[in-house]
Amino acid sequence: MTALQDLEWFNAPLASEMRGDGLWVKTGDRTDFWRGTFYDFWRDSGHFGHVGVEGDFSVEVTIDGRYETLYDQAGLMIRVGESHWIKAGTEFSDGAVCLSVVVTNDHSDWSMQRLPALSGGLRLRLTRHGEAVRVQYLRESDDQWQLVRLAYLPPTERADVGVMCCSPERSGFEVVFRDFTLGPAIDRRLHD
C-alpha cells in the first residue's frame, strides 16, 4: 500500500512534511500545469507527488487548503507524459472554492463548477479504465459520490498518479492531503 510519505516529487514544493496523518505542502512561486489553450503559455512547474501504477486503478485523497489567491489549487493528477495528463481538485476562483478539472491531450481544456462551502475538506477520486478516467467527489455531508467528468487519456501500460498542488499567481499556498488510497479500479458501472 502506498502512503503519502512514499510519494516522489516531480517539481518539489517550497516545503512539505508529514503532520499527524496528513501531508502538509507549501507551494513555490507561480507554479502550474497548463498547455497552450487560451492563455498561450506552457507550464510544467506544478508540484506532483506521485507513484508509478500499471493497469487500471482508483486513487482517492481528502484535500483541505488555505485558499486566498486566484487559481490556488490542489487535488489529484494522472500523468502519462508532459503532454498527456489530467489534474482534478479544488481551485480558488472569483472568491470561491470550485471543483476544477483540466484534461490535457497536447493542449489543455478546463472545466470548473462552484462548490458549496466546505468543512473538513473535499474527498476526490480518480478511476482509470483503459483510456477512460472518471472524476468523482464526495463532500463530508454527502452519502453518494458525484460524477464530475468522464475524460479520455491515451491508454498506456503505466502512469504516474498522486497528489498535485499549484499557485499560479503567488507562492505560499498551503494544503493538507489526508487519507490517500490507491488500489484496484472500482466497478465500471456509472449509474446505480
Cell readout for 103 is 484534461
Q: Note the pLDDT tens digit of each residue in 82-96.
A: 999 999 999 999 999
Condensed to tens digits (0 to 9), the pLDDT of residues 100-136 reads 999 999 999 999 999 887 777 899 999 999 999 999 9
Report pTM. 0.96
Distance CA 184, CA 166 (A): 28
| Dihedral sign, Cα of residue 87, residue 13, residue 30, residue 123 | positive
Domains defined for the chain, CATH in brackets: 4-166+178-183 (2.60.120.200)
Q: Look up residue 105 and give its DSSP letter.
A: E
User: Rounded CA gap, 128 and 148, in Å?
Assistant: 14
Any bridge partners for residue 50, and if so which?
8, 162
Q: What is the mean pLDDT of each run of 10 residues along the chain (192 residues)?
A: 90 96 97 92 95 97 96 98 97 94 96 84 96 93 90 96 98 97 94 72
